[in-house]
Structure 1
Amino acid sequence: MPISRLTIRSGAKIVEMTSTRFNMWSLLSLVLVLSVLISPSITLPNGAPESVCSTMLPFHGGGIPPLTTTSPFRITPVTSVVGSGQVLQVEIESFPANVVFKGFMLQARNRFPPYQVVGHFELVDESAIKLINCGGESNTATHTNTQPKKELTLEWIAPTDFKGEIVFNGTIAQDYDKFWVGLQSTPVKIVESGQSPTSVVGISTTRRPPMTTTVPSYVAPTSARAATFDPIYEGCGETKGCFGFPEGCVETRNCRAVVATIVQGERYIFEMKSGYNRPAYIAVGLSNDAKMGNDSVLECVPEQGTIKAYASWTSAGPYGVSRSGIPQNFFQLRQHSYEDGVIYCQVERDALSIVAKEKFDLVNEKYHLLLATGSSADSVHVSYHDIGRHVSGSPLALAEVGPVKGSSKLLLRLHGAFMLVAWIGTASLGILLARYFRQTWVGNQLCGKDQWFAWHRFLMVITWLLTIAGFVVIFVDIGGWSQIDNPHPILGVVTTVLCFLQPIGAFFRPHPGTKRRPLFNWLHWLGGNIAHIVAIVAIFFAVKLPKADLPEWLDFILVAFVAFHVFMHLIFSILSWIQIGGCVSERRNGQRVTSFPMADMTPSRNSMSSGDRKQDAAFSGFRKVMLFFYILIIVAFVIALVVIAVLAPIEDTVESIKKQIMN
C-alpha cells in the first residue's frame, strides 16, 4: 500500500501522521491526537467548574496564564449601595463596545479579609447564565455557552447576615487563550434594609429588566451637613465625575445641587440631585463655550408628585430656554424620586444626538457642564436659575473620571470687593468730609489745598478708579450685558455712569463767585449722593444673586451700615444747625461753616475772614473724635463685607477650615 500523509490542523498547530497502513492502533492514536488538539477550541462550554471556586483560574490548555494587560471588559453594579435582602443588577460589558467575550465567572466577595463569597444570584437567563455553589447556594454565576457576548446583566441578592462593603470579582474570557482573572467592580455598600440609603437608585425588591424608569423614593438626609452618607457622592472621582455648587461641595458632600456623569460603554448617564430651597427643577447642559446660550439641556422637573425629564435648548440675546422644537427621543429617564422637596433623577443620553441642528458627540468631543436649579417652572420651560448655577472650568471628556472643577470666580470676587471698598468705604468717607469738615484743620494744608478738599478729592478718585475697574471686570466675566432677572445690573450701570461723570463735571466747574457756581455745586452734590444711594441699593440686590453665593444674613450687616452712616450724618448735621442757629460766634459771619455750602463748595482762602483763617470752627475737636470713630467702624464694615464676598459661600469656607483644623 503506498505511503499516505494525513495533516490535521487546529489553530496554528499542525500534526502530521504518516503511516503505511491504517490499523487499529493507528486509529486509536488518531482519536487521541484529535481529542488533544481540537479541545482548545472549546472554551469550557458548560461554564466554570466548582473546583476553581477559590482561585477563579481557568485550567486552559494545561496551564495557560491569564493576561496582565488592561482588560477591555468592565463589571459594573448599577448602584453603590443596597439594602440587605434586596436585588442589585450587575452588568458585564465591553469597552470598546465591539469587543466580545465568550466565558465568565462572577462572585461577590467581602472587600476586606477574609474575602468570603457572600449573597447569591438569581437565574434570569438560563440560555446564557448558570449558577454554581462555591461554599454557598447559587453564590457564583458562570456561562452556559461560548457564544460571543458584548454585554450581560445579572441579578444579585444581598445577604441578610452581612453588613459592609463588597466587590464583584470576576474572570472574563475573550477566547480560549485570552482571559483576565481578578477583575473587580467598584465597591458596593450593604446596609440594613429599611434605612434611607436602601432607597437609592438601582435597588428594587422585585426582579426587573435593565433600563427601568422607576425606583422607590430616594430619601435624602434632613440636614446635608449632618449626613454621614449620601449615595450620590459614592464613587466620585473614582468611577464617575461629580460636579456641584458651591465650589468644593463634592469633597464635603454638601452640595446645593450636584450632577454625576457615569459612562458605561456607550451609555452616558447623568445623575442629578438638588434639595436646597425646595427647587422646581434641576438641569444639566452641555456647552461649547461655558456661557449660557446655544446649549443642549436635560431637565428633571417634579410634576404631580413624580419626576419628568425633558430636553430643552438655551438661546442667548436675550437669554431664554425652551423645549419647543427640541426632540425628546435621544434620552431616557432611568430612575427618579421626589420626596421632601428633594429632586433625584438619573437620565441616560445617547452618545450621538442632533439638537437644534447642532451635533453633540459625547464620545469624541469635550463639553463644559452647566448645572442649574431654580424655584419655578411651567409646562413649556424652566425659569431663571435663581437658586444657583455653576459651570465647569474646562471642557470635559465625559468618559474621563476625575475631579471636576468649576469655572474661576476671580473676576466676580474682584468686582464685589472693588464695589464694596468704593461705595461702603471711600465714597462714604469722602462725602462726609466734603459736607462737614470744610473749616477743620484750618491753616494746615496738604499739597497746597485745604485738608478736607485734598482728602475728599483723593477718596473720590479712589472711588472712581475702583468703580470703573469693577464695571470692567464683571463685563469681561459675563462676556456682555447680564440677562439676570434682578435690578442689580441696571443699578450698577446707573452708579457707574454717575460716578464717571462726576470728575468730568468737577474739571469744568465754574470759578468761585461766578453765577453758575451754585448750580454746579447743587448738581455735583446731587450726582454724588444719588450715585452713593443707588450703589448701596445695588449692593442689597447683589445679596440675592445666586452666582454671588452671599448669605441672606448679609442684609443685616448692610442695614447696620446704613443705620450707622445715617446716624453719623445726623450728629454732624445737629452740630451744623446749632452753629447756624446762633449758639456760637460764627453766626455773625452769615455762613454755614461746617455744612455743605451751595454758594461755594471750595471757597478760596482769601474769601474767608481773618478770624476764620486762624482757627477751626466750633466743635472741631468733637468732630475730629467722631471722624476717627467713624473711620474705625467703616473700616470694620468694609473688611467684614469684603471677606464675606471674597470667601463666599462663607459658611462652607468656615466649615472647610474647621475640618482642616480638626484633621
Structure 2
Amino acid sequence: MFSNSRQTMALSVVLIAIQMISWTPIMSLPQGAPETVCDTMLPFHGGGIPPSSSLPPFRIETSSSAIGQGQTMRVDIVGVPPGLSFGGFMIQARNRNAPHQIVGQFNPPSDGRAKLMNCENSVGNSATHTNAGPKQSVSLEWQSPVDFLGEVVFNATVAQAYDSFWVGIPSSPVQVVRREDAATYPQTTRQPYATPPPRGIYTPQTETPTATAPPEDPFYSECGRSKTCFGLPNGCIEDKSCKSLSAITVRGDVYEFEMKSGSNGAAYIALGLSEDAKMGEDLVTECVPQNGRVNLYSSYTSGSPNYGASRSNVPQNNARLLQSSVIDGVIYCKVRREVITQVQGKTFDLLNNKYYLLLATGTGLKENSVGYHDIGRLPSAGPINLAVVQDLSGSSTLLLRLHGAFMVVAWIGTTSLGILLARYFKQTWVGKQTCGKDQWFVWHRACMVTTWSLTIAAFIIIFVEIGDWSSERNPHAILGTITTIICFIQPIGALFRPSPNSKNRPLFNWTHWLGGNLAHILSIVTIFFAVKLTKAELPEWMDWILVGFVVVHVIVHLIYSIFLCMQIAGCSSDRQHTQQVNAFQMSDMGHHGMRNGHRMDHKMDAPYAAFRKGLLAAYTVVLILFVLVLVVIVVLAPIEETFNKLTNN
C-alpha cells in the first residue's frame, strides 16, 4: 500500500512539473488591440511575427444558432480543452457573404475583462481585452442589427502567448432572422468534448504531420524593394542571418527607420547618421527597453578624445515611435523622423544630404546615453541618399584583417622561430656560413627583420583603419603599442652593439635578450586580448588555439634547455661555459675563428646536433600549422558565419 502511495505521489509530482513547464507566459498588448488593426485583425507582435499555422486550441461558441433582428446572444471564447489559458483577444461578427463587413455590436461587458472598439466608425462593433493577464474564457453579449437578414460568422484573434497567436478563428455560422422565427432554431452551438487531456497540457496538432521550416522573418520581405536594409555582420541581409539590422523606408517626406536586435542580451539598438563613417558629430536614434517598454531617444555623438553619445541638448520631438516590442530579448522599433533636425548648430537634412549609416548594439547603458557597442558596430560602405532604395553593404574590413594577420605571422611565427634559433643553435651548422655569417645568425636576422617589417606595417594599417586611438575598453591597444615600440628599438640597438671584447658587451647582450623576450611575451598577451575585441569578431574558442601554441612553445624550450645542460659538462658548476654558449652574441665571429677569446672548431657541431635539427624541423611544421589556422580565423572572421555561407553555397 505504501509503495503504491509513493508511486501515486511521484506520478502527481511529475504531472505537476510537466504542467508547469508547459505553461507559456502570456504577453499581449496590455490595453487591448488598437483600432488600426480592425481590418486585418492581425496583432503587431515583434515587428511582424506571423500567426500560427497550426489548428487553433480555442473555439468561438454562441448560445444559439439563430438570432432575431435586434436581439442579443451570448458569445464565448473558450480553450480546447476547457481551462486552457490565453491572454489577448479581439472579436467581431462579419457578414458571411461579405466578409469585410462588420455587423452588429457588443454590449459593454460588466466584468471589466473586455472593452469595446469602434471599427469603421461604428460604435462597439468589435471587442478586445483590457489586460493581458491569463484567462480561461471570455463571455460577451452581442446584439444583432435591426436591418440585417442573413448569416454572420464571429471571427476572433486569440493570443496564447506573445509569439503564439491565431488570427480569424471562426465560429459556426449564426443566422440572423426575423424576431418571430428565432425560437425555432437550436439554442446553443456548444459542442460536447471528448475525454480531455490533463488541464493546461495541450499541444496544438498541425494540419500536416510533416515538419515545416520555421517561418522567415518578415522584416526581410521588402528589403531592396521598398526599403533599404542594413545589418551586421556584413552581408547578412542576403541569407537573412543578421544579428542586428535596420531598414529605411521613405514615402515623400516621410522617413521611417526600423531597427531590430538579435536575441543576444542587447540593452539597446541604435542607428546613426554620419558624414564620415567615423564616430563624432552624428545624429543617433536609440531604441532602449526600459520598465517593460521600448523608449525612443535621440542623441549626438562626440569624437576623440571623449568618445560617446549624449542626449543632452538634443531635441527629442523630431522623432516619433510608431511601433515597438521586446520579445525574448529581441528589441524592435519603428521610428518616424522629421526631414530636418538641428543639433548643436549642425543641420541633418535627410532630403538633400547623403549619410553613412552606423548600426550599433550593446549590452550596457549610461545615465544619459547608450553604452559601448560591445555586441557589434558596422558603418555602411558609403554615404547614401536615404530615399533611394538599394542593397547596402558594410564598410570593408580588409585593413583590419591585414593588421591581425600580419601580427599573427610576426609574433606567433617568425619571432618564436627567431628566438629559438638564437638561443639554442649557436653551435649548430658550424663551419657552414652564408655571406660570412653563421647560419643561426642569418636565419635569426631574417626572422626578426620579417617581424619588424610586419609589425610596423600592421601598426600603421590599424591607425589608418580606425583613424584614432581605440575607444574600446580593452588593453589590447596599449599593449600592442608598447610591443611595437620595443620591436622598433631592438634592431636599432643591435646596430650599435659593442665589440665582442668590450666591457659593455654583456650589458648589451642582456638588454637585447630582455627586450626581445619581453616583446614576445607582451605580443602573445596582446593577441589574447584581441579575441575580446568587438571589431575583430573572433570566436572565443580561439583562446584555446593560442593556449595550445603556448604549451607547445614552452615544451620545446624545456626540451632544448635540458639537452643544453646535458651538452655542457656540469651544467650547474661550469657557469662560465654556459654563459658563453647562451650569450646573445649576434655573430661576433672574427676572421681568425675567435668568439669571445675562445677558439671554436669550425668543422664540429656541438653534441646532439642531429636531435636539435630534427626537433627544429618538427617545431617549424607545427608552428606553420598554428600560424595558418590563426590567420584563416582572423581573415575569415566571423568564421562561423563565413563557414555557414560557404557550406550553404
Relative to structure 1, the CA distance from residue 634 to residue 510 in structure 2 (aligned partners, 3 Å threshold; closer, same or farther) is same
Equivalent residue, structure 2, for 1:647: 636
Contact in 2 for aligned 1:438/1:593 (Cα 8 Å): no
**How far does residue 277 in structure 1 lie from its aligned partner after superposition?**
2.7
Equivalent residue, structure 2, for 1:596: 582
Equivalent residue, structure 1, for 2:617: 628
Relative to structure 1, the CA distance from residue 611 to residue 482 in structure 2 (aligned partners, 3 Å threshold; closer, same or farther) is closer
The letter of the residue matching 1:381 is: S
Relative to structure 1, the CA distance from residue 410 to residue 583 in structure 2 (aligned partners, 3 Å threshold; closer, same or farther) is closer
**How far does residue 383 in structure 1 lie from its aligned partner after superposition?**
1.2
Equivalent residue, structure 2, for 1:487: 475
Equivalent residue, structure 2, for 1:358: 346
Helix, strand or coil for the counterpart of 1:614? coil
Structure 1 residues 590-618: Cα deviation after superposition (integer angstroms, max 9, x where no partner): 523895215x4533152255563221111
**How far does residue 192 in structure 1 lie from its aligned partner after superposition?**
11
Equivalent residue, structure 2, for 1:281: 268
Contact in 2 for aligned 1:370/1:390 (Cα 8 Å): yes
Task: Answer with 617-626 or 301-310: which moved more.
Answer: 301-310
Contact in 2 for aligned 1:285/1:297 (Cα 8 Å): yes
The one of 642, 646, 649 equivalent to 1:657 is 646
Equivalent residue, structure 2, for 1:303: 290
**How far does residue 469 in structure 1 lie from its aligned partner after superposition?**
0.4
Contact in 2 for aligned 1:270/1:346 (Cα 8 Å): yes
User: Is residue 251 from structure 1 mapped to residue 247 from structure 2 by the alignment?
Assistant: no
Q: Determine the C-alpha separation between the residues in 2 that align with 1:588 and 1:361.
A: 80
The one of 579, 604, 613 equivalent to 2:602 is 613
Contact in 2 for aligned 1:285/1:371 (Cα 8 Å): yes
Equivalent residue, structure 1, for 2:327: 339
The one of 274, 278, 292 equivalent to 2:279 is 292
Q: Determine the C-alpha separation between the residues in 2 that align with 1:276 and 1:431.
A: 46
Contact in 2 for aligned 1:418/1:466 (Cα 8 Å): yes
Equivalent residue, structure 2, for 1:405: 393
Helix, strand or coil for the counterpart of 2:258? strand
Equivalent residue, structure 2, for 1:186: none
Query: Taking CA–CA contacts closer than 8 Å with sequence separation of 6 or more, which of the two structures ends up with the larger relative contact order?
Result: 2
Relative to structure 1, the CA distance from residue 591 to residue 154 in structure 2 (aligned partners, 3 Å threshold; closer, same or farther) is farther
**How far does residue 338 in structure 1 lie from its aligned partner after superposition?**
1.3
Q: Determine the C-alpha separation between the residues in 1 that align with 2:647 and 2:609.
A: 47
Relative to structure 1, the CA distance from residue 589 to residue 361 in structure 2 (aligned partners, 3 Å threshold; closer, same or farther) is closer
Helix, strand or coil for the counterpart of 1:547? coil
Relative to structure 1, the CA distance from residue 279 to residue 653 in structure 2 (aligned partners, 3 Å threshold; closer, same or farther) is same
Q: How does 1:15-26 map to 2 (within 5 A)?
A: none
Relative to structure 1, the CA distance from residue 197 to residue 139 in structure 2 (aligned partners, 3 Å threshold; closer, same or farther) is farther
Contact in 2 for aligned 1:84/1:192 (Cα 8 Å): no
Structure 1 residues 138-158: Cα deviation after superposition (integer angstroms, max 9, x where no partner): 479xxxxxxxxxxxx999x9x
**How far does residue 504 in structure 1 lie from its aligned partner after superposition?**
0.5
Equivalent residue, structure 2, for 1:239: 226
**How far does residue 558 in structure 1 lie from its aligned partner after superposition?**
0.7
Contact in 1 for aligned 2:304/2:468 (Cα 8 Å): no
Equivalent residue, structure 2, for 1:497: 485
**How far does residue 204 in structure 1 lie from its aligned partner after superposition?**
12
**How far does residue 253 in structure 1 lie from its aligned partner after superposition?**
1.5
Q: Determine the C-alpha separation between the residues in 1 that align with 2:386 and 2:648.
A: 31
Structure 1 residues 358-415: Cα deviation after superposition (integer angstroms, max 9, x where no partner): 1111111110000111111033111111111000010011111121111111111110
Helix, strand or coil for the counterpart of 1:566? helix
Structure 1 residues 531-564: Cα deviation after superposition (integer angstroms, max 9, x where no partner): 1111111111111111111111111111111111
**How far does residue 266 in structure 1 lie from its aligned partner after superposition?**
1.8
Q: Determine the C-alpha separation between the residues in 2 that align with 1:276 and 1:520.
A: 56
User: Is residue 230 from structure 1 mapped to residue 217 from structure 2 by the alignment?
Assistant: yes
Equivalent residue, structure 1, for 2:140: none
Structure 1 residues 301-330: Cα deviation after superposition (integer angstroms, max 9, x where no partner): 111222111111110112121111111110
Contact in 2 for aligned 1:436/1:594 (Cα 8 Å): no
User: Is residue 538 from structure 1 mapped to residue 526 from structure 2 by the alignment?
Assistant: yes
Task: Answer with 335-344 or 436-445: which moved more.
Answer: 335-344
Contact in 2 for aligned 1:197/1:231 (Cα 8 Å): no
Q: How does 1:413-432 map to 2 (within 5 A)?
A: 413-432=401-420
Give the TM-score normalised by structure 1: 0.66
The letter of the residue matching 2:602 is: R
Q: Determine the C-alpha separation between the residues in 1 that align with 2:425 and 2:579.
A: 9
The letter of the residue matching 1:370 is: L
User: Is residue 317 from structure 1 mapped to residue 304 from structure 2 by the alignment?
Assistant: yes
The one of 542, 552, 558 equivalent to 1:554 is 542
Helix, strand or coil for the counterpart of 1:328? coil
Equivalent residue, structure 2, for 1:117: none
**How far does residue 264 in structure 1 lie from its aligned partner after superposition?**
2.5
User: Is residue 526 from structure 1 mapped to residue 514 from structure 2 by the alignment?
Assistant: yes
Relative to structure 1, the CA distance from residue 199 to residue 247 in structure 2 (aligned partners, 3 Å threshold; closer, same or farther) is farther
Contact in 2 for aligned 1:84/1:193 (Cα 8 Å): no
Q: Determine the C-alpha separation between the residues in 2 that align with 1:637 and 1:233.
A: 39
Q: Determine the C-alpha separation between the residues in 2 that align with 1:347 and 1:520.
A: 65
Contact in 1 for aligned 2:228/2:248 (Cα 8 Å): yes
Equivalent residue, structure 2, for 1:396: 384
Contact in 2 for aligned 1:307/1:345 (Cα 8 Å): yes
Q: Determine the C-alpha separation between the residues in 1 that align with 2:357 and 2:575.
A: 70
Helix, strand or coil for the counterpart of 1:559? helix
Relative to structure 1, the CA distance from residue 521 to residue 588 in structure 2 (aligned partners, 3 Å threshold; closer, same or farther) is closer
Contact in 2 for aligned 1:420/1:641 (Cα 8 Å): yes
Task: Answer with 465-474 or 605-614: which moved more.
Answer: 605-614
Relative to structure 1, the CA distance from residue 519 to residue 593 in structure 2 (aligned partners, 3 Å threshold; closer, same or farther) is closer
Relative to structure 1, the CA distance from residue 343 to residue 581 in structure 2 (aligned partners, 3 Å threshold; closer, same or farther) is farther
**How far does residue 340 in structure 1 lie from its aligned partner after superposition?**
1.8
**How far does residue 568 in structure 1 lie from its aligned partner after superposition?**
0.8
Contact in 1 for aligned 2:415/2:448 (Cα 8 Å): yes
Q: Determine the C-alpha separation between the residues in 1 that align with 2:236 and 2:420.
A: 43
Helix, strand or coil for the counterpart of 2:360? strand
User: Is residue 378 from structure 1 mapped to residue 366 from structure 2 by the alignment?
Assistant: yes
Relative to structure 1, the CA distance from residue 228 to residue 470 in structure 2 (aligned partners, 3 Å threshold; closer, same or farther) is farther
Structure 1 residues 504-534: Cα deviation after superposition (integer angstroms, max 9, x where no partner): 0001111111001111111111111111111
Contact in 2 for aligned 1:281/1:300 (Cα 8 Å): yes
Equivalent residue, structure 1, for 2:81: none
Contact in 2 for aligned 1:576/1:594 (Cα 8 Å): no
Equivalent residue, structure 2, for 1:8: none
Q: Determine the C-alpha separation between the residues in 2 that align with 1:136 and 1:596.
A: 97
Q: Which runs of 5+ in 2 are unaligned?
A: 1-45, 54-90, 103-118, 126-156, 170-212
Q: Determine the C-alpha separation between the residues in 2 that align with 1:635 and 1:616.
A: 27
Helix, strand or coil for the counterpart of 2:373? coil
Q: Determine the C-alpha separation between the residues in 2 that align with 1:204 and 1:382.
A: 41
Structure 1 residues 315-354: Cα deviation after superposition (integer angstroms, max 9, x where no partner): 0112121111111110011111112221111111111111
**How far does residue 579 in structure 1 lie from its aligned partner after superposition?**
2.3
User: Is residue 447 from structure 1 mapped to residue 447 from structure 2 by the alignment?
Assistant: no
Helix, strand or coil for the counterpart of 2:510? helix
Q: How does 1:575-594 map to 2 (within 5 A)?
A: 575-582=563-570, 590-592=576-578
Relative to structure 1, the CA distance from residue 589 to residue 245 in structure 2 (aligned partners, 3 Å threshold; closer, same or farther) is closer
